[in-house]
Amino acid sequence: MKVGILGGTFNPIHYGHLRIAEEVRDRFALDRVLFVPAATPPHKPLAGNLSFAQRASLVERAIAGNPAFALSDIEGRRGGTSWLIDTLREFRVVNPGDEFFFIMGSDSFADIGSWKEYRDYFSLCNIVVAERPGTSLAGLFGQLPADVLGEFVPYPAEKRLAHRSGYSVYFFAGVHHAVSSSTVRELLQTGRSIRYLVPPAVEHHLIEQEFYATHST
């Protein structure tokens, strides 16, 4: 089975997340895309005071009705700091026959050298890097940490960097979705509409529960 993995805080989930997941699923003929909310993000504090369970519930509402999308609560169950490398290793142990495609933005890829045990990512799964403005395949190659450059061979016509493990880093161009979770939070904090930024079920739940409202705790 070919499985996509889309991680993040999903704070909250929005149409940008869903559209990127769908475009990657379609392009790479994935059987399933797993949405993996972080329980305790390692790189920055979580804004808005929403618990893992609350954010996971929003994801469930957002993906309901799409049989190719599923929620994984692996990081909530594991507890502690949500190191992605631990998540990928656990997926490989539980489902050794699956081929995994980790989905990330080119802005995140630029920082991959600062991630815990980053060299091991390239031997665990394929990586699909969704384009952000101003990036290219050549740019991705240039962003690789110097100590792993020799492990890759670029194939510009295929828009991929082949790793010696047999996995690849794919540059997925044409994915431009400007919605951000911070924008959704800011609109809710000021009582403004978030319609057409998030699915209706997510919108209704956010408003009903007064998530991110300035007076919420």
**For residue 62, what are the CA distances in angstroms to 7, 67, 171, 202, 216?**
15, 12, 26, 6, 22
Give the bridge partners for 152, in sequence order.
163
Amino acid in position 197: L
- What residues contact residue 108 under an 8 Å CB cut-off, 6+ apart? none
* Mean pLDDT (the chain, rounded): 92
Residue 146 clears pLDDT 60, i.e. is over it: yes
Mean pLDDT of 133-152: 82
Which architecture characterizes domain 2-179 according to CATH? 3-Layer(aba) Sandwich (3.40)
pLDDT score for 216: 44
Comparing C-alpha atoms, which of 91, 66, 72, 65 is closest to residue 10? Answer: 72
- How is the chain split into domains, by residue range? 2-179
- What residues contact residue 77 under an 8 Å CB cut-off, 6+ apart? none
CA 30 to chain centre: 15
Give the bridge partners for 55, in sequence order.
none
Comparing C-alpha atoms, which of 175, 176, 112, 100 is closest to residue 140? Answer: 112
Query: Rounded to two decimals, what is the model's pTM?
Result: 0.93
DSSP symbol at 158: G
- Report the SS3 class of residue 188: helix
pLDDT tens digits for 68-77?
A: 999 999 999 9
